[in-house]
Chain A
Amino acid sequence: MTDLLIIGGGITGQVAALTAAEAGARVTIVDSQRNAGSHANAGSLHVQMQSRFLRLNPHLAENLESSLPLYLSAVTEWEALDARLGGVELTREGGLMLAENDAQLAFLHEKAERERRKGLDVEILNRDPLHAIAPWLSSRIVGAELCRNEGKLNPLVANRKMRATLDALGVRHVHDRITRVEDGPRPVAHGATDYRADTILIAAAWGAEALTAPLGLSLRTPPEPLHMNITEAGEYQIHHLVQHAERPITLKQFRSGQVVIGGGWDANLASDARHAPTIRKTSLLGNVALAAQIAPGIGGLRVLRTWAGYNTPVDGKATIGPAHPQNRVFLALPGDAGYTLGPVTGRTAAALAMGLEPPIDPAPYAPARWRA
């Protein structure tokens, strides 16, 4: 007896489960437990447009810009989740996008103006005020865009507490790989066994394409393997989420003192389903060397570990809602920055599936754009 069957146990599926279970639904999560993006995520709460995405996907810039209000709702959603889960080391101390020269600063001025029009709390800081709030920065940084909406959290803590909260609500977890979903009045998900439910929600990120193609949807969800590094712990001094106007980097410090370095350096796809994506030497060397250039203060810490995880950019815009009108199969795909957008995406999709009031207007994210 399942009211809502969720395919995908990452943060999107988990928040969908939380929403539905709190509304009294009987919920089951089926997850293949392989290379979930949420399990590799480093906990940035992105709001301002990432230069990484603009550079890699210039054709999707418009989608990203139109999604900015969703990013604002996403951080609000995360704050609520932080309270609900009893603290996930979430801080909202803002994000800095750094500039090393006047051209980069001019780009940030223009970007900030566009973002301000979408309701973001952004400001351009010149050298002195910037270095006053971030003394660990290199003197080569001439200014930055400060986005006060941004923040960070500890995904290991969030994932652990989320699991405990769902267990307490009686959400059932099943380990299986769903290979096909059948629509109908009582839809079926096929894995090692068949799972029937009133409603099925696909929150499977890079696994969504294979499940939605037979439903007549044309969305593409190739995984984007990204490289991450983490250092030993140091005194907690880097409060902001740090990015660069032109170069691929995100850098932040967990409350535990460890510095996490990433920002879109590529990794290798996993060789098969049993293995994880692997590391490229070029990404490790390039990413860490860049971090040391912009934040020389981390130079006394050693790099402890590297790993790679899958981001699923889709088209840079979320996909939320029923696969077809009147359909009992729903989609919840954040479309880039899955960990930031996961909670708002999951809650909205579950609300639609359960006939509850969604936290945002889902119309711009309807799956209609994927129907042939």
Chain B
Amino acid sequence: MTLRFTFDGQEITCPDTSSLAAALTAAGHRAFRDTEQGAQRGIFCGMGVCQDCLVTVDGRPNQRACMTPARDGMTVETQTARPSLTPPAPRDLTPHRMRPTVLVIGGGAGGLSAAIAARESGAEVVLLDERKVPGGQYYKQAAQGDPLDDQQAEGRALVQAARDAGVTILPQTEVWGAFDGPEIMATAPDAVYAIAPKKLIVATGAYERPTMIPGWTLPGVMTVGAAQTLWRSYRTLPGKRVALFGNGPLVTQVALELADGGVDVALLAEAAPHPLRRPLAGADMLRRDRALAVKGLRMLARLRSHKVRPTHDALPRAIRQTDDGLEVTYTVGGQTRTVTADAVCLNYGFQPSNEVLRLLGCDMSYDAGFDHLRVTRAETCETSVPNVYAIGDCCGLGGAPAAVTEGRIAGRAATGSAPLPEDQEELARHRAFQDALWRVYSADLPLPEDAPPDTHICRCEEVTKAQLDAALADDPTDIGALKRATRVGMGRCQGRYCAPAVAGIMARRQCRPLEDLSYFAPRVPIKPVDIAAITAAEALLDPEE
């Protein structure tokens, strides 16, 4: 089935399962909104966190195209920087108060597995997921049609298993607040929720770390995961010619998927040296999980059949828009080269989506290897806050197979069962494999302090490296002072991209170790929240509150 809507008056036809972002991309549109400084922005993260793909939908401003399903008859417009203060049409939001035994936030590999395990005891289990179809970033489900491959089929089976087990799945439900209790506040298209579970399992995953270079905010420059979502979930290619830059196995996998889908892969640039230069780590990977290691080798072989070979030791330096497309200047060793493409994909690792955990006050420690925070957990995956469990990549990167196992452990623990020895052994194996994998892919990535002065450090507030340097000259004591001085981190993404960069810059300047307090103070809402949703949620306050 197809549907029709208009974008700035032009009629667009798309499948009825499409997201607005996919439909607009398929129709050749890359720029969705204008910024305060008159620049244009489009899809960047493709998963609802960067808030750059905003459009006005039926008169309601600032709706994320990547998270909004296309509907027949919609009027979609380019988002202006400052929409008029005209009251939008009222929203009909039903307030719900829930007190399930177990609440799982996130319907990815870990969350689904935790929910299934918790249901085994007969407990009432509610699972929240932001997407219309759960599955998370690893299983990335297709909006329609048959699974593309084994990975999607496995995810579909897991979603089905959760439904069969009797898990209450609330799709398109986004968490915006976490308060002591724990109590979780969330919104859906037709409802608002205040959920006070006995046990909370946080499985919110991770988002991608970009590289900050001039031009990384241009429409058409997106994360590798965003391109993957366009293709795997919506069968939409991000462009005809695509250049991928990154570090780690996801980049190679997505290059192959896009090539299979018909994309001309203009460049696959890997920051790490060739794996043959690290034979020990490679052998270790093979020893820890032969099947996964072999899967990786097969991917490379299939890429070769598309005439794509990864370029190693390669890093992007700047991107600019030309008449012919996006021209990326990159370096390989000491050489400088250029490549031109319609879409440029970036991935330099991941940042845990740990906002809920930080809001609840869970203890964190800094992992220098992955340059992010890891939540402190017991063997049962319980955090330092009683009754709050954390699993998967939101705890610090660990990969989907580990998330599935951690989900089983946490789901059992939350309902009173001890971890199974086989789960613990399996988890140890997954972790050892991840360790070997990232030794193979270890690379010297450029530090944000070395970025050229015109590089945007904060996408949302359009704060450049030069502005940041000027404020750093005043020797701010902490990241909060730097935020107030420059507006870095004050925008819609809540500092998700700039915070890790700025925290690192500050720590290295002050010769201090990174810790939880190095990052912006956690604050509600963890994502911008509609005023109508807050008004509806007010009805959920107890009179004694």
Residues of A whose CB lies within 8 Å of any CB of B are 33, 39, 136, 156, 159-160, 163, 167, 175, 231-238, 256-257, 274-276, 279, 281-282, 284-286, 288-289, 291-293, 296-307
A306 B474 Cβ-Cβ under 8 A: no
A5 shortest CB reach to chain B, Å = 19
Identify which of A237, A293, A304 contacts B528 (C-beta below 8 A).
Answer: A304
A233 B36 Cβ-Cβ under 8 A: yes
- Report B497-545 residues with CB < 8 Å from chain A CB: 517, 521, 523-525, 528-532, 534-535, 537-538, 540-541, 545
A289 B538 Cβ-Cβ under 8 A: yes
Cα distance A236–B80 in the bound complex, in angstroms? 13
Q: Could you say which residues of chain B place their CB within 8 Å of the CB of A279?
A: 523-524
Q: Residue on A with the closest CB to B176?
A: A303
Query: Which secondary structure characterizes the binding site on chain B?
Result: loop
A303 B528 Cβ-Cβ under 8 A: yes
- Contacts known (A281-B179, A302-B530); A276 close to B521, Cβ less than 8 A: yes
Cα distance A306–B490 in the bound complex, in angstroms? 11
B84 A292 Cβ-Cβ under 8 A: no
A232 B477 Cβ-Cβ under 8 A: no
Q: Could you say which residues of chain A place their CB within 8 Å of the CB of B61?
A: 232, 234, 300-301
B435 within 8 A of A: no
A303 B484 Cβ-Cβ under 8 A: no
B61 shortest CB reach to chain A, Å = 5
- Contacts known (A285-B537, A289-B538); A301 close to B474, Cβ less than 8 A: no
B86 A297 Cβ-Cβ under 8 A: yes
Q: Could you say which residues of chain B place their CB within 8 Å of the CB of A285?
A: 534, 537-538, 540-541
Cα distance A136–B87 in the bound complex, in angstroms? 9
B154 within 8 A of A: no
A234 B84 Cβ-Cβ under 8 A: yes
Identify which of B87, B177, B517 contacts A297 (C-beta below 8 A).
Answer: B87
B85 A303 Cβ-Cβ under 8 A: no
Q: Could you say which residues of chain B place their CB within 8 Å of the CB of A282?
A: 541, 545
Identify which of A33, A232, A233, A299 contacts B87 (C-beta below 8 A).
Answer: A299
Q: Could you say which residues of chain B place their CB within 8 Å of the CB of A159?
A: 484-485
Identify which of A281, A286, A296 contacts B185 (C-beta below 8 A).
Answer: A281
Q: Could you say which residues of chain A place their CB within 8 Å of the CB of B491?
A: 304
The 25 sampled A-B contact pairs (Cβ below 8 Å) are A33-B481, A39-B480, A160-B484, A160-B485, A163-B474, A232-B61, A235-B85, A237-B84, A237-B85, A279-B523, A281-B179, A285-B540, A286-B538, A292-B531, A297-B86, A299-B532, A300-B60, A300-B87, A301-B61, A301-B83, A302-B529, A302-B530, A303-B528, A304-B490, A304-B492
B81 within 8 A of A: yes
Interface string of B163-197 (1 = CB under 8 A from A): 00000000000000101000101000000000000
B306 within 8 A of A: no
A236 B82 Cβ-Cβ under 8 A: yes
Identify which of A231, A300, A302 contacts B86 (C-beta below 8 A).
Answer: A300
B478 within 8 A of A: yes
Q: Could you say which residues of chain B place their CB within 8 Å of the CB of A288?
A: 531, 534-535
Q: Could you say which residues of chain A place their CB within 8 Å of the CB of B9?
A: none
B412 shortest CB reach to chain A, Å = 31
B487 within 8 A of A: yes
B416 within 8 A of A: no
B17 within 8 A of A: no
A302 B524 Cβ-Cβ under 8 A: no
B62 within 8 A of A: yes
A300 B85 Cβ-Cβ under 8 A: yes
Interface size on B, residues (CB 8 A): 46
Residues of B whose CB lies within 8 Å of any CB of A are 36, 59-62, 81-88, 177, 179, 183, 185, 474, 477-478, 480-481, 484-485, 487, 490-492, 494, 517, 521, 523-525, 528-532, 534-535, 537-538, 540-541, 545
A156 B487 Cβ-Cβ under 8 A: yes
Q: Could you say which residues of chain A place their CB within 8 Å of the CB of B84?
A: 234-235, 237
Q: Could you say which residues of chain A place their CB within 8 Å of the CB of B521?
A: 275-276
Cα distance A288–B176 in the bound complex, in angstroms? 15
Cα distance A303–B523 in the bound complex, in angstroms? 12
Q: Could you say which residues of chain B place their CB within 8 Å of the CB of A301?
A: 61-62, 83, 85, 531
Identify which of A303, A305, A307 contacts B534 (C-beta below 8 A).
Answer: A303
Cα distance A175–B510 in the bound complex, in angstroms? 14
- Contacts known (A279-B524, A288-B534, A303-B534); A257 close to B82, Cβ less than 8 A: yes
B194 shortest CB reach to chain A, Å = 8
Cα distance A98–B390 in the bound complex, in angstroms? 47
Q: Could you say which residues of chain B place their CB within 8 Å of the CB of A281?
A: 177, 179, 183, 185, 524, 541, 545
Cα distance A300–B85 in the bound complex, in angstroms? 7
Identify which of B477, B523, B531 contacts A33 (C-beta below 8 A).
Answer: B477
Q: Residue on A with the closest CB to B477?
A: A33
A234 B83 Cβ-Cβ under 8 A: yes
Cα distance A326–B26 in the bound complex, in angstroms? 79
Cα distance A317–B296 in the bound complex, in angstroms? 72
Q: Could you say which residues of chain B place their CB within 8 Å of the CB of A167?
A: 474
Q: Which of B81, B492, B534 has the most CB of A within 10 A?
A: B534
B87 A296 Cβ-Cβ under 8 A: yes
B285 shortest CB reach to chain A, Å = 41
Q: Could you say which residues of chain A place their CB within 8 Å of the CB of B185?
A: 281
Cα distance A296–B81 in the bound complex, in angstroms? 20
Cα distance A136–B84 in the bound complex, in angstroms? 11
A238 B535 Cβ-Cβ under 8 A: no
Q: Closest 3 interchain pairs by CB? A: A297-B85, A302-B528, A289-B538
Identify which of B82, B183, B485, B532 contacts A234 (C-beta below 8 A).
Answer: B82
Known contacts A136-B85, A237-B85, A284-B177, then 15 further A-B pairs from the complex at CB < 8 Å, ordered by chain A residue: A33-B477, A156-B487, A159-B484, A167-B474, A235-B82, A237-B84, A281-B177, A282-B545, A285-B541, A292-B532, A296-B87, A300-B86, A300-B87, A300-B88, A302-B62
